[in-house]
Structure 1
Amino acid sequence: MHIQNATVLVTGANRGLGAEFACQALARGANKVYAAARVPESVTLEGVVPVRLDVTDAAAVAALAAELGDVDLVINNAGVAGAGKLLAEDGADALRWMLETNVFGILNMSRHFAPVLQRNGGGAFVNVLSVASWKSNPALAGYAVTKAAAWSLTNGVRDALREQGTQVLGVHVGMIDTDLTRGFDLPKLSPDTVVARSFAALEAGAAEVLVDEITRAVKQGLNAEPPLYTLA
Structure 2
Amino acid sequence: MFHLPLERPWTWALTHHGMWSVFVADAEPARQGVPPRRHPLHPPAELMGCWLAIYATRDYDADAVRWLREAHGLEAPAGDVLPAGAYVAVARLAEVSTVGNDSRAFGRDPWWAPRTAPYCRGTIAWWLEEIQALEPLPAAPAKRLSPVDPELMPELRERMRLACDGIWRPEVYAAPAPLPYPAPSRERPPAPAPPPAPSRPRVVDDRPVPPMLANPVQFGLFSGRSASSEVA
TM-score (norm 2): 0.25
User: Which one has a bigger Cα radius of gyration?
Assistant: 2
Structure (1/2) with the larger strand percentage = 2
TM-score (norm 1): 0.25
Structure (1/2) with the larger helix percentage = 1
